[in-house]
């Protein structure tokens, strides 16, 4: 029994405290899941598109355009900065434009600029490629995909940073709530704690008692909050598509978040309780 029976585990405010820790864990888990998912998809997008570029021959004279396109393809195929080059068939371009032009896109008379798709070698310099191209095909316009991807990537980075701030704030709020709970607990049991001290109770035993109780509270509330966040995140992924949900479930990190958040909530609550008890007791005469 020792101190556990001396200070029954039923001080006022325990329920609201569990609710608050649970809410913090919910927010933290959701922010982590969202942030990591965003980071992963932005990273995937950057990997897919970051090293590719499209070259268009913008020349009104169709014959000249075709000649320049041929010369450009020949140069690009041999260029050391380019891994792969492929002429985009006219039908493919027409299909891309169909949403804007409707049936007109299929009109063989429609002037469509010839296009070439390339993948740059790692570290390949798109500007140098463009300079070499300008010599053989002055009408070539190089569109590096990473250029228009950059704002998207910056936006994704900002969202990931916001998620990190949310996680930090929930951790801070959890520690503060635990400190308040410990104060309330120490106050509620003040007469009993005073007697226990006079009978030889040690501060460290008291600190350990509160640490254990809040560790448990953090784990339980954290599990509930984390489970809730998992359900919300799963239904969001399912709204995107069954594939997105299945894809996420195959990753390791969503599971790490769902398990890690309750563990972290328990550890944080236990530590905050220990520190608060020690501080409160040290302040006593």
Pick 126 or 207: Cβ nearer other proteins? 207
Q: Which is nearer to other proteins, 1 or 239 (CB)?
A: 1
- The reply on whether position 285 binds other proteins by CB under 8 A is yes
Of the candidates 2, 109, 122, 250, which one interacts with other proteins according to CB under 8 A?
2
CB of 195 to other proteins, least distance (A): 5
The span from the CA of 256 to the CA of 21, in Å, is 19
Give the one residue of 3, 19, 169, 275 binding other proteins; rule: CB under 8 A.
3
Note whether 49 binds other proteins by CB under 8 A. no
6, 40, 238, 275: which one contacts other proteins (CB under 8 A)? 6
How many Å apart are CA 207 and CA 210, to the nearest integer? 5
Least distance between other proteins and beta carbon 198 (Å):
6
Cβ proximity to other proteins, 263 vs 281, nearer residue = 281
Helix (H) or strand (E) holding 52: strand 52-57
User: In a 10 Å sphere around its CB, with 0-12 CB exposed, 13-18 middle and 19+ buried, how is residue 125 labelled?
Assistant: exposed
In the complex with other proteins, the residue whose CB is nearer, 6 or 101, is 6
Of 9 and 157, the one with the shorter C-beta distance to other proteins is 9
| CA nearest neighbour of 158 among 38, 30, 37, 25 | 38
What is the nearest approach in angstroms of other proteins to the Cβ of residue 214?
21
Mode of pairing for the β-strands spanning 52-57 and 140-144: antiparallel
Give the nearer residue to other proteins in terms of CB position, either 5 or 242: 5
- Provide the mask over 183-212, with x wherever binding to other proteins is found by CB under 8 A and - wherever it is not: --------xx--xxxxxxxxx-x-------
Rg of the chain over CA atoms, in angstroms? Answer: 31
Question: Which positions from 137 to 176 touch other proteins by CB under 8 A, shown as an x/- string?
Answer: ----------------------------------------
Please state the closest distance from residue 231 (CB atom) to other proteins, in A.
40
Identify whether the C-beta of residue 48 lies closer than 8 Å to the C-beta of residue 126: no
Nearer CB in complex with other proteins: 143/202: 202
Separation of alpha carbons 261 and 267, rounded Å: 10
User: Which residues, 6+ apart, have CB-to-CB distance to 266 below 8 Å?
Assistant: 215, 216, 218, 219, 222
Which string of DSSP letters, residue by residue, matches 151-198? Answer: HHHHHHHHHHHHHHHHHHHHHHHHHHHHHHHHHHHHHHTHHHHHHHHH
Beta bridge mates, 54: 117, 143
- Which of 95/284 has CB closer to other proteins? 284
Q: If binding is defined by CB under 8 A, does position 53 make contact with other proteins?
A: no
Q: Which residues bind other proteins (CB under 8 A)?
A: 1-3, 5-6, 8, 191-192, 195-203, 205, 281-282, 285
């Amino acid at each position: 029994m020792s101190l556990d029976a001396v200070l029954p585990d039923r001080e006022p405010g325990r329920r609201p405290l569990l609710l608050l820790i649970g809410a913090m864990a919910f927010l933290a888990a959701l922010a982590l899941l969202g942030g990591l998912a965003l980071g992963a998809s932005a990273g995937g997008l950057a990997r897919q598109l970051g090293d590719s570029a499209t070259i268009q021959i913008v020349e009104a004279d169709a014959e000249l355009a075709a000649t320049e396109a041929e010369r450009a393809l020949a140069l690009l195929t041999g260029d050391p900065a380019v891994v792969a080059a492929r002429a985009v068939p006219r039908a493919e371009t027409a299909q891309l434009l169909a949403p804007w032009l409707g049936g007109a896109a299929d009109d063989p008379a429609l002037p469509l600029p010839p296009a070439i798709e390339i993948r740059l070698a790692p570290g390949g310099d798109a500007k140098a490629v463009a300079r070499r191209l300008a010599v053989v095909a002055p009408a070539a316009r190089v569109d590096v995909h990473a250029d228009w991807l950059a704002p998207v990537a910056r936006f994704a980075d900002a969202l990931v940073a916001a998620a990190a701030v949310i996680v930090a704030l929930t951790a801070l709020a959890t520690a503060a709530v635990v400190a308040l709970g410990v104060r309330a607990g120490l106050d509620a049991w003040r007469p009993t704690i005073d007697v226990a001290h006079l009978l030889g109770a040690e501060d460290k035993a008291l600190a350990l008692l509160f640490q254990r109780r809040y560790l448990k509270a953090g784990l339980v509330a954290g599990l509930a909050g984390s489970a809730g966040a998992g359900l919300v995140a799963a239904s969001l992924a399912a709204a995107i598509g069954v594939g997105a949900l299945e894809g996420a479930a195959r990753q390791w990190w969503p599971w790490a978040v769902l398990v890690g958040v309750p563990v972290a909530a328990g550890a944080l609550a236990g530590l905050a309780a220990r520190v608060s008890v020690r501080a409160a007791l040290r302040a006593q005469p």
